[in-house]
Structures are given as C-alpha cells and as structure tokens.
Amino acid sequence: MTPWSGPLLPFLVLAWPLLLAVVSILPRVRDHAVRLLPLGPVPALWLAFQPLGEPTLIPDMLLGVQLGLDPARQLLLGMTATLWIIAGLAAQWGNDARRDAIYAGFWGLTLTGSLGVLLSLDVGTFYVSFAAVSLAAWFLVVEERTTTALRAGRVYIVMAFCGEVALLVGLLIGVSHAGSLEIEAVRNGLATAPNAGVAITFLVIGFGIKAGLLPLHVWLSPAHSAAPVPASAVLSGAIVKAGLVGLLVFLPNGAAGNALLLLGFAGAYGAALWGLSQTNPKAVLAYSTVSQMGLMLALIGGGARELVPYYAVHHGLSKGALFLLVGVMMATATTGARVAVLVAAGFVGASLAGMALTGGMLAKAAVKAPLSDALADAVTLTSVTTTVILTWFLWRMWQGDRPARTGSFWPLRLALPLLAGGGALAVPWLLWEEWKGLPVEAYLSLSTLTDSLLPVAAGLVAGLLLIWRPLPQVGTGDLLLLVEQPLARLAQIPPERKREPREIHLFARLAEVSGRLETRLVRWSVASAVMLALTLAVAFLTR
Amino acid sequence: MDAIVVLLAAPLAGAFLSIAAPRLAVVASALVCVVAFVAIGLLGAEMLELGPAIVVPGNWGVPLGIGLEADGKAVAFLAMTALVMAGVITAASVEFAPGSGRRSFGFWPLALLLWAAMNAMILSRDLFNLYVGLELLTLVAVGLVALSGKADALAAALRYMIFALIGSLLYLLGVVMIYGAHGMLDMGLLSARTPAPADGLALALMTAGLAAKTALFPFHVWLPPAHAGAPAPASALLSGLVPKASFLIALRLWSEAMPDIVRPEALVLIALLGAVAVFHGGLLALRQVRLKLIIVYSTVAQLGYLFLIFPLAGGEGAAQPWSAGAWSGVTFHAVSHALAKAAMFLAAGLYMRAVGSDELGAIRGLARSMPMTTFAFGLAALTLMGLPPSGAFTGKYMMITAALASGQWWWGVVLLGGGLLSALYLYRPLEALFDGEGPAEIIRPRRREELAPLFLAAAAILLGIFSAVPFDLIYVGRPDAAVTGL
Amino acid sequence: MSVYLPLLILLSSLVPALLTFFLPERAHGLRNGLNLGGALIKLGLITVMLVSVGRGATYDFSMQLAPGLVLALRPDALSLLFMTLSALLWFLTTIYAIAYFEGKPNQSRFFGFFSLCVAATTGLAMSGSLITFFIFFELLTLATWPLVIHQQNRASLAAGRVYLAYALPASAALLIAILWLESVTGPILFSTPAPLDRLDDTSLRIIFALFIAGMGVKAGLIPLHGWLPVAMAAPAPVSALLHAVAVVKAGAFGIARITIDVFGIDRVEALGVGTPLAVLASATILWGSIRALQQDEIKKRLAFSTVSQVSYIVLGVALAGPFAVIGGLAHLVHQGLMKITLFFCAGIFAERAGVKKIEGLNGLGRIMPWTSVAFSLGALGMIGLPPLAGFVSKVYLGVGALQSGSAWALAVLAASTLLNAAYFLPLLYRLWYLPPAPDAAGDEGKPGLVVPAVLTAAASLGVGLFAGSPYSPLGWATLIVTREYLP
C-alpha cells in the first residue's frame, strides 16, 4: 500500500486551518490569534477554482482517508470558503477582535470540519469532519459566556451529540451493508439494503438536527442569537449546510422523500411564521434559516436534489451577508449610515425572497423546474412567508440599540457583507447556464418577472401590517420551551445510595459452630470415645 | 548406602556433642546441617541412577535385621527436614545462644534428637523400628513444648504426652498383632503376606494411633495449647515436621504395606476426617486473635489436606495411574507446608519479641519497621493459601488433577475451598501488619534471624518454580503404573 | 536468542523487581535507574520481537514444572499487542511514579511490586498454555495487593480486602475450570485447538461460565466489578496500573484468549454462550456508565468508566465477528492509552492542586493547561469522538455487531456514547468554562508527572489519526484476526 496518492492540495486545504488553530495557541500568537482567521480558508478557495483532479488517497490515516470533489461540492466549497473568509475578516473589529485563542483555535477546527465534509469521499473522514464542524462550533456558540449563551450551548451540545450518535448508527449500518467505507458505495448500498429504513431514519435524524429539520431545529434560534455575529454568519451560511451535504451525499435518490417533503415544508412555512414572535434580529434570521433549510430539505425529498447546491450557494451567501449586516448595524450611529445598512439588507433580503431580477429569483426558478406543479406553487408561496419574516427582520434590525459612536473602519466593515450579498445576487446569474444548460435569457420573460414580484409584494404588505400590529413576542427556542424543563428533570441523576458495609455473618456463624465443637473435643471422655470409634470404624471397613 | 547411615548418625552425634559441650552446640548443629545436605545430595544423585537405596545395618538381612530404605518420597521428606532444621537452627542461634541458661541448654540436644528421630522414621520400613522412632520423636517433642517451664506450657506438654502415649500404645498394639499373625514387620515383606483375619483390626489400631500423633481431626486438640506456650523455633519444628512423620507411616501402611485389605469406604472415612479438619481448622483460625494460634489452627487445616490423598492413592488406588499425581502432590504439599509453616512461626516469634505480644492488635503496622520479616510472612502465607507460584500450588494442582482423573472431584472442591478459607484467615494478620505506622520503639531482630524465615519461605516458593527437579526424584521407587502418571 | 527472547523479556522486569526489594530506601538513583533501565530494555526486546513476529517468526520457551504442568511462553501476535501496550505504559508509568513518590516512604517496596506486576502481566501475555496463564494471573493478583494497600490507611486496607475477596474466589473458579477441562483434554496450548469434543455441551457451557466468572472479576464485568471503584484508594500510579496497564486488561485479555484460542469462535457460537456474554458485557457497559454519572469523586467516576469501557473489549470478542474482534482487540490498546491519561491527570490534579472532587476542577484549565488538555483528550477519546482512539474502536465494534447479526449491540454503543458524554463533558466544562474557586491553586512544576500524561494523550490521538496504518493498534489487531482466526 502506498502511503499517498493523488494531489496534495485537498489535504493541505484541511491541514492548513488546523495548523493555524495550533499556531493560535502559541504564547506569542495567543493574544492576536483572531488576526489569523481570514487565512484559514484561502487554500480551499484556491481549490474551488482548480479543475477537478484525481482523488487523494492516504490509507494510513484514520480509516483510510479519501479526498476529492465533484462539481456540486466544488461549488459549495467555493461558497463555504468565501463565506469563512468574509466572516473571518468581519471578526477583525470591535469585540470580535478581542477574542482569545480558544475561540480562534476552535474557529479553525470548525472550519476544517466544514471543509472536510465537502472534500471527503470516505465515511471515516466524513464522520470526523462532521463531528469537528458540529462539536467545535459549540465553542463559537458559548463564546460570550452569558447565561443565555450557556443555555444555548447546552441545548446545542446535547442535540449535536445525539445527532452524532444517530449518524454513527446510520453510517455503521450503511458501511456494514456496503462492506466498504466509500461514501458512494454506502449510498448505493443503502438503496438496496434490507434494513435500509432504519439506517436512513437515523441518517435523517443525524443530519436533520444539523440542517434544522423540523422538529429538530430547536437549537438554531438560541444558538444564533447567542453566538458572536461572525460566528452566526458561518453557522447559518456554512455549518448548517453540513447537514444538507450529508443528506445529499448519503441519501439514495428518493429515500425518505415524503417525510422530508412534509417536514421540510412544515419547517419552511412554520419557522418563517414563528420567527415573527422574535425580538432579536438574529433570532429572526435563525428562523429564516430554518425556513430556508426546510425548503431545501423538501426539495431533496421532492426530487430536485441535483439543484439544491445551486440554491444552497445563494442562501449561504445571502444569509451570511444578513448576519454580518446585523453586526454592522450594531456598530452604526448616524441615521444616514443606518439607512444605508438597512437598504443593503433590504436588497439581500429581497434576493432571499426570490424577488424579480435577483439571484434568488433564479435560484427559486431553477429548483422549481423539476418539481410537480403543486410543489412548484408551494415553493413560490414560500416567497411570501420569506418576505414577511425578512420585513420583520429589517424592522427589528432598525429598532436595535444605536451605539454612541460609529465603529472604526465602518466602510470596510460594510463592504464585507456587501461583497457576500453581491455574490448572492450575482452568482446565480453567472452559473445559470452551467447548471441549467440554457442561456439565462431563455428564462427571462415578463411573466416570470411578475410571477416573482407578486409573492414578494404580498409578503411585504403583510410584513408592514405586522410591524404596525406586532404578534406577541416570546423567547427563543419554540418547541424547546415545552420540553426543556421536563427533559432536564428526567436527566437528573439520582445520587448514589450509601450502603453500610455488611459484615460477613456466614463465616462468623460457622466459626462459632466450630468453636463449640472444639470445646467438646477437648474433653478427655470425648477424645477417647472418638478414638475408639475411629478404630472400630476402620477395623469394620477393612476386609 | 553410607549416606543413609550418615543421616541417622550425624544428628545423634550432634546431639551428644551438644550435651557434652554446650558451648559448641550451634557449631555442632551447623556441622550436622552441612553433613546432612551433602548426604542427601549424594543419596538423591545415587537414587536417580540406581533406584531406591536399601541398607541393612550389620548385614543381618530382613526380616531378622532392620531394613532401611530410601525411595523418592523419603528423600523429599529428608530434604524437607534438613531445610527446616537449617532455618530453625539459624534463627535459634540467637534466641538460644549457648550459655544463655537452661532453655538453650535443653533446646539444642532436643532439636538434634528430633532430627535424628525424623530421619529414622522416614528411612525405616520396619514397623517396630518405626515405633521406636515414634516414641523418641514424641518424647523429644514433649520436651520442646515444656521448654519454657511455665505452668501452662507444662500443662500443655502433659496433655500432649497423654495423647501421644495413647497413640503409641494403640500403634504398638497393632504392631504386635501383625507380628503375631505374620511373624514379620518389614513393610516390603508385609505387602506380599497372606492376609490374616486380624489384619484389619491391626491396621485400625495403628491408624488411630498415628492419627492421634498427626493431629488429624478430631485428635488435634493437643496441638494448639502445645504451640501456644512453646518458643517459636520449637513451634516451627512441632508444626512443620513432627506430624509429617506419623502421616508418612500411616500413608505407607495404607498404600504400600496393606493396600489389599482396605475397602474404599475406609479411605473415604479418613479423607472425610481430613476434609472436616480443613474446614474446622480454618474456621477456628478465623476466630483467633493471637497470631500464633492462627498459625496453629492453620496447621490443623493443612494437615487435613494431606489425608485427602487416601482415597486417591491408598488401597486399590495405589496401583492406578492417577496415584502418581496424588503422591507427588501430597509430597509437594507436605514439603512446602513444612517450609512455609516454619517460616511463619519464626516470623511470628520475631514479631512477638519486637512488641512483646502476638495479639493482632499489638502487631499492627509492623510491616513498616520489619519489612523483611513481613515479606517472608507474606510469602509463607501465599504458600499456605496454595497460590502459584508456590510449591503448595504445584501440590494442590497435582492432587486436584488426580482427584478429577479418579472421578472424585469433590476432594478437589475441598482443596480449593480450604484454600479460600486459608486466604480468609491469613488475610487478618497480613492486614494487621500493614495497618498504619506501627509502634516507634521495637526490639529489632538480628539480621540472620530475619533471614531464616525469608530463606524458608523463599524455598517454598522456589519449590513451585523449579518443581521439575524434585519430581524425578519423587518418582523413584514408585510402582510402574504410577510412574507413567497421566 | 530466539528461544530465550521470551524469557529475557520476562526477566527484564522480574530482575529489577527482585533487586528493588533489597535496595535501601534512600538509594533513589539506583532504584530509578534499575526500573527505568528495565523498562527500556524491555521495550527494546519487545520491538525486536514485534518486528520478527510481524515477519512471521515464532518463539517458544517451555519449562516443565511438573508432569502436565508446563510453563510455556509462546508469544504470538495477540500477546504482542498486550505486551507492547503494557511495556510502553509501564515505562511511562515508571517515570510518573518516580515523580509522584518523590519524598514519600516505602519506595523500594512499591517499585519492587510494581515491577513484579508488570513481569506478571508480560508473562500472562506470553503464556502459551492455560496453566501458565493461570500462574501469571495469580501472580498478578498477589503482586497488586501490596500496591493497593500501599498507603496503609483504613481506606486502602479496606480496598485491599475487597480486592482479594473478589480476586481469590475468582481464581478458584478459574482453577476449577482449567482443571476440569484439562482432566479430560490434557494440557491445553493456545496454539493448537483443544479436543473439546470429548466433553458434552453442558459441561463445556459450565466451564465457559467458570472461565468468564474467573476472568470477569479482573475485567470488571457486572456483578463482579465491585472491587474496582473501591481500589481507588490506591495512589495514582497504581490506579493507572490497575485500569490501563495490567489488571483489568489481564481479565479482558483472558476472556479473549478463552473465547478465541481455547474454545474458538465457532464453538462459542455453537454452544450459544457468545450472546449471553455479549449481553453481560453490554449490561456492564451501560451500568458502569450510569454509576459513573453518580460519582462526584474524579477517580471514582473514572473507575466506573473503566468498568464500562473494558467491557467494550469483551463485547467485541463475544460478538465473534471478525470486525468486532478487531474492534475489541484494538480497544484493548485504545482504552489503555486513554484511561492511563485520565488517571495520570487525576493524579496530577490531586497532587499538584489538591483536587479530588469534580467541583474542584472548576477553572483549572487556565491554571494547569497541559494537564487539562491531556485530560480533555482522554475524556473525548472515551466518548468516542473522532478522530480519537475510542472512535475507531466504536466503528469496528458497530460494524462487527451488524455483521454478526447483533444489531441491538449498536443501540448499546449509541447509548453508551451518550452516557459517556454525559459524565465526561461536565468535567471538561468545569475545567475550561467555569471560574476557578478563589482558593484554587496548582502548578505543573513536575515534568515527570505532566510529560507522561501529555505523551499518552498524544498517543491516543495518534492511534486514532493513523488507525489505517498497519503499525497502529488497529492494524495489528487486523493482523491478529486475519492471521490467526480467519483461516
């Protein structure tokens, strides 16, 4: 077995951020470790623009590492890397610049996992990467160490762990049926395995937790509200996508279709509406993420899985941009500048809602094509709910605390979300032809434009109405609020019962019997009688 | 040939010398040790080549003369005696340093006479000769018990004497009946005799007598008081050696001289007594608070093991293949028990002197100030529990294998259960020794006093590790079927 | 050389042991040199053997103790797995123990018995026959007792009592089983299949149960695990030895030997005893974890964690599929590395910061970063977090469970992972995320304590990260299974 084959770059893509994470701990670097954050994803971005090559094989590592890409994953890799770079850059100012080496180190680990999920071709590497992205992100969630952050962290880690375990069970069934560790083989095996249902259920649970599948989405809104802004950006833009990627690569075509469709659409509508009960703009965005992820999960179930990456790229970039804009708004003092931020957010939001001429319109259009009419209409209808929740989001963002002074480097800070948002608006246009096989002009017509305008307009009206008459506001976590207390009580471990050590009575009692016997035997009369008895007995028992 | 005579003569000569010139007692004893080891070595080497050695002093020829015969077992028991003696002599050279009063004047001749009596009983095949040896051994042992001269020691000695004399009487009665019926007393010749109707009773009488002397349950009651008052080196001899001689005779009677008249039920009866002894002695050891008494009751239990061999190698079993394992097993057991028990008594003596008492509460924590003695005590305890790699484990292994091979697995259970019980009662003193810091001021033993128990206990362990060498020796003089073993 | 190599390996720890007993207490340099030297020589010799066994060489050293009682040292690949682990960890534990006992009394006694323990473990690993195995198994029990009671206080004496109260009946059971078996089949060598057909199935089942009872005490199978948490009264290096290097491993190793080499996987299955054993192991895994949750003393929590984790090995062997056996055997090494790390760290926390309860861990992460990182790695590995060692074992066990048609074992693995997380994560949370108590103080001033812990932590990461390598524990376990049990 050769220890290595294939190009070095994919391995470097994963090793580099890890190396940076280790470097962050060094005493000299420790206090400025945040400065390293934007460097981590650079090789990944580079790889995203390279032609696809041979897979990289390192059989000695883990259970035999295999790294490689296909066009869809390469696209997601590009988006992920871009988002991480932008978020890393956005972490250079204000409170974010003062974070410590632990934050920086686990940022690197999370990043590695997030990239590894896309690059791995074998189950071992995938699972390792998934665990990294899933569990290391906990450190990003609890970074603020406030009570709410710690509560969010607790919810996050418990669910993430349950997800890991569910995933492990599902993957093990898949691996043992396929007799191979290659993801491809496992997916094909799951299509025919006799007990595939069990495996797929576990996989859907495991990935669904990460991807925010209803009703496993409860960790998202507390975590997003608690995490620092750049962390929220990657959480929503890149980390939850790991779950989506998992479903894309492991789920056989059409498996669990109806469940995904049902739960996905329930999430898509329900979360968008529930988000209206939230005050914190980041919590509102989190519900929007649940809603969008629900839509994507429904698309996987509904038979549009090939185009989900195309949609995901748009969502990742725009959601990242929106989170970062929240951060910018929090650092903006003058009204004019605040309006500018609001407008920028409005544009990105419009794109997310699928407004005419935005990238979002194309994304929605693309995924609707393979769907049945009813499903396509359902997708169109999500534009309404998305518009409603994003309008509410813009309002909540506007209402946020206004600082005394605008933060330093404000234009640069605004430029970063604009870059991401601009990407969200533009990338679908650029990739349309590659993904749909037709020039984009062929799609554009007046009717398609009005089709995409109407739901947005309707949503906007509803949104404005809600701003006028808001819904009652509640805390984060919806279903969680119901089950949190009983579950916590259930998990209380009864304290150990202290038992008094027991004396060994048996031997003591037996020894007493022996003692009594001994006092008899000591008597001469008994001794002589016994001697006589023995003599007679032996004499009797001989021939 | 000459070695056998030397082994009888040397201790006797030493004993006389130590009476004649008490100052030279230790030197004389040491000399006897050297001579005995050389003689045993030569005897063993010769036997491995030529088979059992037979010598008839005065060339009178059996049955008229007295036959002395050394086979494998005999050499093993001779070596055991010599080793224990060497250890005891080393340790006693401090406690009974010549010129330190009446006790030391008495000890050396008694010890050397005991040795002579042991050797005589091991080598002799003549029933009457054995009687003489038995009597000598008894009287010497009683003397050792009474050595301290205290009132309770004298009372214990008296009790012992009465038991032993009754035993001797019964034995003598049996011998007389045999002589009356067959006109001969040599065991080798008796095995080929025509059975007489009185043989059974004779055997029964001899067995009862020997059982009393071996302290087999229920005749063990003289043993604990006798030890309680005796000085530690004397206890080492009384517990380690004295009962083994009478046991050997009893076993020879049942498996070599008259196996033909023995019915299986009789064998089971004897073994049952042994089994009861194992548990009775063990349980009583659990009740004791004095270290010495724990060790004594352990002797009661351990002697019980020896009798488990009767159904395996006595009577008709003597010619069965598994008897080889049983014989070897019991020999190993006897030898390692003698070594370990002697080591334990010597160690107990040191503790007793260090703190003035042998109660478990008094010896608490002595491990810290007397590590070497405690190490020896621990090794000895390990042997008595029958755990590997001690010689007792080898013995136990062979006996259990034999028990299983003969289909009498229950004796194996007795052996294992007894081992667990012994762990239970020996754990108590061990734990006490390790409990806490111990007294600051103790009377320190001399270095060679500490080395003696260590040497004996180590010998018991080494016997287990290098048990292949003795094995070939033990097989010499075995019936063919029993040599091949399993 | 080839004949005497096993003997030399045995002597490399036996000779230091015997010499150490007679060294005066103040001869620190000599004693340390003797023990470290022995450990190094042993590592060297094992490396030589490892290379040649990897190439297919065999070793055989036999010594007849008595007719039918042969002391046979015949190291095979399985032996080497265990030996290498124990030799490596012995070396590190010696360094640790030297630092730990600096300035404390009774060092000669400690190091003497310590080396004796390792000698027994090595002998046990190399044993080529059942009775040899038993002899070393017993020797191990006995040599461990003085270590358990080393501190000579009430708690440790009680621990010693409980330890023997469990161990000695167990060895009686073991001896019965061995003698029963051998009285019918003759002496049993691990290298040749024993003629078990001569016994009827019921007898074989009882014998198997006796074997499991005998070994199960050491391996901490419920309900025979009671001694393990009590033995926590012993000093930290001893706990490391009990939990990682020698004692519980000896039990697990023994079960592997019995199942694989004496009965054979096929016969275990035919007798229908594999599944009950797997169920017992599973129950142990879960019960140990639940009990661990209840403990508020660090070492006790770790002890119950051992109860749980060692049964992974038993589970792997009992499931009897090739993958499960590979996973179980690899876990033998993996658990050793991770658990010794945890105990090293627990010892450092107790010695250098005076912390024994989990509340005391609050905020120690910043005060004692190296120890805390090592502890975290060990704990995460125990949980089975990829890519640490525990994960690799779990994957193989899981696949093995499915392959042998015991899908329920997967649920056990899953539940155990969650439980492990539940009792380990709070510790890490305290270490890193809670503020230290006002009077919290600690330092990592003794490299002799910290370096071994960091090394074993790194190793438990390394064996997971490079599990695919043929030289990893997993690779070696695969070699064992493909070479010896998959004809």
ipTM here: 0.87
Distances from the Cα of A354 to the Cαs of A236, A266, A361, C356, in angstroms? 19, 19, 4, 59
- In contact, A79 and A313? CB cutoff 8 Å: yes
Kindly state the helix (H) or strand (E) to which residue C419 belongs, with its residue range.
helix C408-433
pLDDT single digits (tens) C256-293: 999 888 888 888 888 889 889 999 999 999 999 999 98
pLDDT value at B486 more than 50? no
pLDDT value at A367 more than 80? yes
* Nearest neighbour of C66 by CB, restricted to B378, B400, B467: B467
- Cβ–Cβ below 8 Å for C422 and A491: yes
A517 touches chain B (CB under 8 A): yes
- Cβ–Cβ below 8 Å for B166 and A515: no
pLDDT single digits (tens) C359-396: 888 888 888 889 999 999 999 999 988 888 889 999 89
- Cβ–Cβ below 8 Å for A65 and C465: no
Where are the extended beta strands (E) located within B317-460?
none
C381 touches chain A (CB under 8 A): no
Each residue of A350-367: b (16+ CB within 10 Å) or e? Answer: bbbbbbbebbbbbbbbbb
Kindly state the helix (H) or strand (E) to which residue B380 belongs, with its residue range.
helix B371-384
pLDDT single digits (tens) B337-367: 999 999 999 999 999 999 988 898 888 888 8
What are the structure tokens assigned to A474, written together? 């509640």
Mean local confidence (pLDDT), A492-501? 65
What are the structure tokens assigned to A247, written together? 């479903």
DSSP A57: E
What are the structure tokens assigned to C189, written together? 């060598």
pLDDT single digits (tens) A264-296: 999 999 888 888 888 888 889 999 999 999 999
B197 touches chain A (CB under 8 A): no
Percent of chain B clearing pLDDT 70 (strictly above): 95
Q: Calculate the CA dihedral of residues B173, B177, B182, B188 and round it to 10 degrees.
A: -40
pLDDT value at A1 more than 70? no
| Distance from chain centroid for Cα A513 | 71
CA angle B215–B219–B222, rounded 5-degree value: 70
CA angle C69–C73–C74, rounded 5-degree value: 120
A513 touches chain B (CB under 8 A): yes
| Distance from chain centroid for Cα A349 | 22
Mean local confidence (pLDDT), B113-137? 92
Mutate to test the interface with C, among B387, B409, B466, B483 (most CBs of C within 10 A): B387
B383 touches chain C (CB under 8 A): no
CA distance C465 to chain A (A): 5
B194 touches chain A (CB under 8 A): no
pLDDT value at C485 more than 70? no
Chain C residues whose beta carbon lies within 8 Å of the beta carbon of residue A27: none
A522 touches chain B (CB under 8 A): yes
pLDDT band at B65 (very low <50, low <70, confident <90, very high): low
pLDDT value at B481 more than 50? no
- Cβ–Cβ below 8 Å for B375 and C168: no
- Cβ–Cβ below 8 Å for C65 and B434: no
Whole-angstrom distance, CA of residue C487 vs CA of residue C485? 6
Establish how many alpha carbons lie within 13 A of residue B280's alpha carbon, considering only the half-sphere containing its beta carbon.
23
- Cβ–Cβ below 8 Å for B286 and A527: no
* Nearest neighbour of A496 by CB, restricted to C294, C422, C464: C294
- Cβ–Cβ below 8 Å for C160 and B431: yes
| Most confident listed range (A492-496, B481-485, C111-115) | C111-115
- In contact, A265 and A379? CB cutoff 8 Å: no
B151 touches chain C (CB under 8 A): no
Chain A residues whose beta carbon lies within 8 Å of the beta carbon of residue B294: none
Ranges of H-type helices in A303-409: 308-330, 335-353, 359-368, 373-399
Mean local confidence (pLDDT), A77-96? 89
Kindly state the helix (H) or strand (E) to which residue C71 belongs, with its residue range.
strand C69-73
- Cβ–Cβ below 8 Å for A176 and C295: no
The DSSP string of A126-191 is: HHHHHHHHHHHHHHHHTTT--HHHHHHHHHHHHHHHHHHHHHHHHHHHHHHHHTS-BHHHHHHHHH
Where does residue C186 fall: left (phi above 0), alpha (psi -120 to 50 degrees), or beta otherwise?
left
- Cβ–Cβ below 8 Å for B204 and A542: yes
Establish how many alpha carbons lie within 13 A of residue B172's alpha carbon, considering only the half-sphere containing its beta carbon.
11
Whole-angstrom distance, CA of residue B332 vs CA of residue B320? 19
3-state class of B217 per DSSP? Answer: coil
Residue whose pair of structure tokens reads 């008296």 in the numeric block = B158
Chain C residues whose beta carbon lies within 8 Å of the beta carbon of residue B367: 152
DSSP A193: -
Q: How many CB atoms lie within 10 A of CB B151?
A: 9
What's the mean pLDDT when you consider all of chain B? 88
Q: Calculate the CA dihedral of residues C96, C99, C100, C102 and round it to 10 degrees.
A: 150
Q: How many CB atoms lie within 10 A of CB B193?
A: 16
CA distance A513 to chain C (A): 23
The residue in chain A having the minimum alpha-carbon distance to the alpha carbon of residue C323 is A176
pLDDT single digits (tens) B174-229: 999 999 999 888 888 888 888 888 889 999 999 999 999 999 988 899 999 998 88
pLDDT single digits (tens) A128-162: 999 999 988 888 888 888 888 888 888 888 899 89
What are the structure tokens assigned to A242, written together? 């790991």
- Cβ–Cβ below 8 Å for A535 and B261: no
pLDDT band at A496 (very low <50, low <70, confident <90, very high): low
- Cβ–Cβ below 8 Å for C183 and B419: no
Whole-angstrom distance, CA of residue A313 vs CA of residue A428? 8
Residue whose pair of structure tokens reads 């050695």 in the numeric block = B53
- In contact, A514 and B284? CB cutoff 8 Å: yes
Report the pLDDT value the prediction gives residue B57, as an integer from 0 to 100. 64
Report the pLDDT value the prediction gives residue A403, as an integer from 0 to 100. 84
Whole-angstrom distance, CA of residue A357 vs CA of residue A445? 11
- In contact, C437 and C362? CB cutoff 8 Å: yes
Report the pLDDT value the prediction gives residue B257, as an integer from 0 to 100. 86
pLDDT band at C64 (very low <50, low <70, confident <90, very high): confident
| Most confident listed range (B49-63, B64-78, C190-204) | C190-204
What is the radius of gyration, based on Cα positions, of chain C? 21
- Cβ–Cβ below 8 Å for B269 and A537: yes
Lowest average pLDDT, out of A175-179, B128-132, C244-248, goes to: C244-248
- In contact, B182 and B127? CB cutoff 8 Å: no
Q: Give Cβ neighbours of residue C471 (< 8 Å, ≥ 6 apart).
A: none
Interface of A with B in 351-390 (CB under 8 A): none
Lowest average pLDDT, out of A320-324, B294-298, C403-407, goes to: C403-407
B408 touches chain C (CB under 8 A): no
Q: State pTM to two decimals.
A: 0.88
Q: How many CB atoms lie within 10 A of CB A237?
A: 32
- Cβ–Cβ below 8 Å for C414 and A165: yes
Distances from the Cα of C264 to the Cαs of A215, B279, C208, C321, C477, in angstroms? 48, 38, 11, 12, 17
Report the pLDDT value the prediction gives residue C311, as an integer from 0 to 100. 92
Report the pLDDT value the prediction gives residue B59, as an integer from 0 to 100. 58
Mean local confidence (pLDDT), B61-76? 74
Whole-angstrom distance, CA of residue B236 vs CA of residue A318? 94
Report the pLDDT value the prediction gives residue C120, as an integer from 0 to 100. 92
Chain C residues whose beta carbon lies within 8 Å of the beta carbon of residue B376: none
Q: Give the number of beta-carbon pairs within 8 Å between B and C.
A: 97
pLDDT value at B173 more than 80? yes
- In contact, C67 and B485? CB cutoff 8 Å: yes
Whole-angstrom distance, CA of residue C257 vs CA of residue C263? 9
3-state class of B63 per DSSP? Answer: coil
* Nearest neighbour of B419 by CB, restricted to C146, C172, C180: C172
Pairing mode of beta strands C69-73, C61-66: antiparallel
Mean local confidence (pLDDT), A329-342? 89
What are the structure tokens assigned to B485, written together? 């073993």
Q: How many CB atoms lie within 10 A of CB C156?
A: 24
3-state class of C49 per DSSP? Answer: helix
Mean local confidence (pLDDT), C156-162? 87
Task: Report residue A446: phi and psi, to 5°.
Answer: -65, -40
pLDDT single digits (tens) B84-108: 999 999 999 888 888 777 788 889 9
CA distance B167 to chain A (A): 9
- In contact, C353 and C441? CB cutoff 8 Å: yes
pLDDT single digits (tens) C394-435: 989 999 998 888 889 989 999 999 899 989 988 988 888 888
Mean local confidence (pLDDT), C203-216? 93
